[in-house]
Structure 1
């Protein structure tokens, strides 16, 4: 008998959002797409650190099977160094056996 798997996608994304007074600011979120879950569950990166979130998912029996940087952006440095290129969308793929 073959093992059947279910998959979980955890997407980290950084996006420009409108804030008070017509300004824009960066917002960092994690979007968790659980099996059968539409729309994805959103968690703010200001509320949970990525390592804690991935540890939480792993503790529930999910195994990390892949990650992919899907988009990057160049940001001006805030520390007097050169501009930096940083990921703004990363997808982590997890699987676990279906019981």
Structure 2
């Protein structure tokens, strides 16, 4: 009977050692996967920062182009208005009126 108890205790200890090893392997695999995820997050974070910088740069360029277009539009309007005034009709020369004394 002592032999049976000893055999059961040995089997139990062996099973516990297997469980501990399996648990360690599972933890190591989880840690490796966690490291991969964190590395991916770091990489993605860098890419997002780059994209934000590009978007900001492009917004600045669009603003500059919009301002330039507005300025050109004002100049064209002024030239069109000036041309329309010149073509509106011949202007009569002004007479010098001298007062008679």
Query: Normalized against structure 1, the TM-score is what?
Result: 0.17
Q: Choose between structure 1 and 2: higher strand proportion.
A: 1
Q: Choose between structure 1 and 2: higher helix proportion.
A: 2
Query: Normalized against structure 2, the TM-score is what?
Result: 0.16
Highest CA radius of gyration, 1 or 2?
2
